[in-house]
Structure 1
């Protein structure tokens, strides 16, 4: 497979997953604040921190408030992590590999793109974003389903899965970190009804509430952290995502368990092994924010190694700067119209 094709498949999946997760963050936060812009103003700022775009946001909009945060994360074409930008980048990557992806995948992505474009031209979307966020999630699920059902599970499919799962693991880590580190305004709220509501919102943002209830029942912070970080059966848990991404890397390179043939496999194996032998008590003792910060740095290094091992150094203009994660500025990316 050409490295250009592998890169496009990988980033197509990452951008679709990123758009879905931004929609999840917005929808849950909107429900948590009941859509208020003033009395819950401080609760909109963490959404910008979640995507790692607080600096460009502050430069353009100033202090966070409901309307500006929604505009920035939903439809701002100058924000490379907005839903509109992500879907545009995904479509452009798909356009360059039309011969690789099934027709139904291309058609579904086109419908996704035009749905977002249409919503961006409708002012009412910003007033009531829940319906739009739900449509984004469903469009993403349909696209993933079409890929799973109609694309041969060869190298291209594995690159697609690696991209999707690395992005998903990164976003799950960010929503857990934001809840622990930013969203809880007062230590006196710990253990109260407000605290339970917040943790329930966190689980809903990962579509994890029902599965968590089935496994643990009562909502407690340490169990929520354990479920979203270390669980090996829930599809949006960080550990699950990395294990499946590691499986796909092995299928691409042909290596066996316990061995590695390149830097990406080595770094992924080290990160997975660390999680295999980590308990939630170890994480809490270290400090959850510190653990998440270290995890994200290691995941960033995995992404950089994937780029070095599999992709060419000279990419199309639409792909420039893609190896940077949300924790770094992506302003170097060219805008795709």
Structure 2
């Protein structure tokens, strides 16, 4: 496989996963604001800080307010991390390798892109933000489900999955940092409990968490579920394990039948991160130490991504965090 094809597949996986995470986070934070005592400016600043670019926002819009904040994180075509930009980039990469993938995947992504391109923040607010977010999630789920059901399990599939799980790991860390690592609410039990529940709702893990922990929605339990649980698909541990398995599959299935030693370094990093996750205990996930744990895991994830890019792709793209 040509490196540029592998890179396109990696970024298709990353951008589609990033878009799904964005819409989940935007949806929950948007509705969570009704239960917060923070002023409106703080609410929208938190949203932009989570999935946007505060410096670019302030330069373009000035004050933080609803329409500008939603436009920045969803529709802004000049903002490389907006939901629209993620879908646009995924579509562009799909178009570049269109002859190598099932046509159904292109049709789903292209139709989704065209619908989103014609949408505006005013239309979204007038009709129903909840329905708008639901349609985006359904479109992305359709694409993901179709890719799982029809993509041939060769290097094409494995590279796309590498991108998906690498991005998922980063996104879960970003989610936990945005919502949990907030000293302004960590001492207010009621508000922090709402934040913890919102983490589970964004990740789609609330029901799974309740089955494992009953009514114990405390910081350590939520952090353990989202970081070290090996069975929840959006946990850090699950994502790192899947990423390692996909890299191993690429190494085993190399079309040249010669072991690609370039994969040794990212595999070693993923293995070390997996071991570090297994060593975390409850004290490492306590509210006063959670931030340090998240920052350490973020550095490890970033190192894996940078290593893969530098070893396989001639020009490393900027990873939007």
73 and 206 in structure 1: CA distance in 2 versus 1, 3 angstrom threshold: same
CA contact (8 A) 2:230 2:238 kept: yes
Partner of 2:12: 12
Give the alignment of 1:32-51 within 5 angstroms. Answer: 32-34=32-34, 39-51=39-51
232 and 245 in structure 1: CA distance in 2 versus 1, 3 angstrom threshold: same
1:36, distance to aligned residue in structure 2 (A):
9.6
Name the TM-score, length of structure 2 as normaliser: 0.90
Partner of 1:288: 290
1:123, distance to aligned residue in structure 2 (A):
2.3
Does structure 1 residue 251 correspond to structure 2 residue 249? yes
State the alpha-carbon separation in 1 of the partners of residues 125 and 75 from structure 2: 10
Partner of 1:176: 176
State the alpha-carbon separation in 2 of the partners of residues 35 and 282 from structure 1: 29
Give the alignment of 1:50-129 within 5 angstroms. Answer: 50-51=50-51, 53-120=53-120, 123-127=122-126, 128-129=128-129
CA contact (8 A) 2:14 2:167 kept: yes
Partner of 2:161: 161
1:279, distance to aligned residue in structure 2 (A):
2.0
CA contact (8 A) 2:41 2:65 kept: yes
Instruction: Spell out, residue by residue over 1:277-310, the C-alpha distance to the aligned partner (whole angstroms, 9 max, x if none).
Output: 2223223387111211121121111111111222
CA contact (8 A) 1:268 1:302 kept: yes
Tell me, which stretches of 5 or more residues in structure 1 are unaligned?
314-320, 327-337
1:185, distance to aligned residue in structure 2 (A):
3.4
Instruction: Spell out, residue by residue over 1:104-151, the C-alpha distance to the aligned partner (whole angstroms, 9 max, x if none).
Output: 11111112111211223x622145422211111111111111111000
State the alpha-carbon separation in 2 of the partners of residues 275 and 161 from structure 1: 21
1:196, distance to aligned residue in structure 2 (A):
2.6
Q: SS state of the match for residue 118, structure 2?
A: helix
Partner of 1:138: 138
Does structure 1 residue 209 correspond to structure 2 residue 206? yes
Q: Aligned pair count?
A: 312
CA contact (8 A) 2:220 2:287 kept: no
Q: Select the structure that is richer in helix.
A: 2
CA contact (8 A) 1:264 1:309 kept: no
Tell me, which stretches of 5 or more residues in structure 2 are unaligned?
254-260
Q: SS state of the match for residue 119, structure 1?
A: coil
State the alpha-carbon separation in 2 of the partners of residues 160 and 52 from structure 1: 24
1:312, distance to aligned residue in structure 2 (A):
2.7
State the alpha-carbon separation in 2 of the partners of residues 16 and 261 from structure 1: 24
297 and 36 in structure 1: CA distance in 2 versus 1, 3 angstrom threshold: closer
Q: SS state of the match for residue 64, structure 2?
A: coil
CA contact (8 A) 1:37 1:66 kept: no
State the alpha-carbon separation in 2 of the partners of residues 65 and 298 from structure 1: 35
1:187, distance to aligned residue in structure 2 (A):
4.6
Partner of 1:316: none
Q: SS state of the match for residue 242, structure 2?
A: helix
State the alpha-carbon separation in 1 of the partners of residues 99 and 278 from structure 2: 39
Partner of 1:318: none
Q: RMSD over aligned Cα, in angstroms?
A: 2.3
Partner of 2:320: 325
1:178, distance to aligned residue in structure 2 (A):
1.5
Comparing 74-83 with 36-45, which one deviates more in the overlay?
36-45
Comparing 166-175 with 39-48, which one deviates more in the overlay?
39-48
Q: SS state of the match for residue 44, structure 1?
A: helix
90 and 247 in structure 1: CA distance in 2 versus 1, 3 angstrom threshold: same
Does structure 1 residue 196 correspond to structure 2 residue 193? yes
1:35, distance to aligned residue in structure 2 (A):
9.8
Partner of 1:302: 304
